[in-house]
Amino acid sequence: MASVLVVEDDPFVRSALIRHLTDAAHTVRSVGTALEALREVAHFRFDVVVLDLGLPDLDGSEALKMLRGITDVPVIIATARDDETEIVRLLNAGADDYLTKPFSVEHLSARMAAVLRRSRGAAGELPPETVLRVGGLTVDPLRRQAELDGLRLDLTRREFDLLAFLAARPGVVVPRKELLAEVWQQSYGDDQTIDVHLSWLRRKLGETAARPRYLHTLRGVGVKLEPPGGEPPR
């Protein structure tokens, strides 16, 4: 069971989602505007937010940026926009997943289950007290904090999950299929999803794909994290 906030201005769609999610034993609150959504997340704790983009007071993509400023709650975008550039922009803005309208409630349930699995346990297989150290990078799965050379990294939940998974396997090339399965909890998906989050994470680590320090992509194989300059993992 999860606590869900549905942000949808269409009363028919909204009622259908509330009914289905309630029947599935979820606790549901719903609003029809972006500002109401911001007030809800500021006052209540949610496990997941289902966010429509076509809101009457504020475009959902802007609402997403504002949500990310106050919470890291998983957000599933519900949108009629299927343009690839728009989808990448939403992922860069902090969306955890997206659904293109029209979609079935069963499809939504499956995506919600995957997002909740990731948010509740995607830091990897290590015991929570283990602090991971790779060169000047420190990752604490219990506190969900990461530091680079003593400075705190401001990471989204998905960025942290990806970094923690790779940091638990320093120097090991992790296939993209394994990243999708373990970090995204998906058996299939678009490689661009991984590329977007790797690019986002690289910027926060102060590196680029052309000049990597910690994150290295092996074309057609996978991704590995290792300390710069051949320094052995600690």
What strands, in cross-sheet order, belong to the sheet with 97-100?
A: 27-31, 3-7, 48-52, 75-79, 97-100
Nearest to 162 by CA among 209, 98, 117, 215: 215
Q: For residues 102 and 79, what is the distance between their CA atoms, to the nearest angstrom?
A: 8
In the chain, CATH 1.10.10.10 sits at 132-225
Residue 29: predicted pLDDT: 94
Architecture of domain 132-225: Orthogonal Bundle (1.10)
CATH of domain 3-120: 3.40.50.2300
Contacts of 177 (CB under 8 A, 6+ apart): none
Q: Is 153 left (phi over 0), alpha (psi -120 to 50) or beta?
A: beta
The arrangement of strands across the sheet holding 215-218 comes to 174-175, 222-225, 215-218
- pLDDT tens by residue, the chain, 234 residues: 788 999 999 999 899 999 988 888 888 999 999 999 999 988 888 889 999 988 999 887 888 888 887 788 889 998 877 777 877 788 877 888 888 888 887 888 888 888 887 766 544 444 544 788 999 999 988 778 899 999 999 988 888 889 999 998 888 898 888 888 888 776 666 677 888 889 999 999 999 999 999 999 988 788 999 998 755 445
**First-to-final CA distance of the chain:** 39
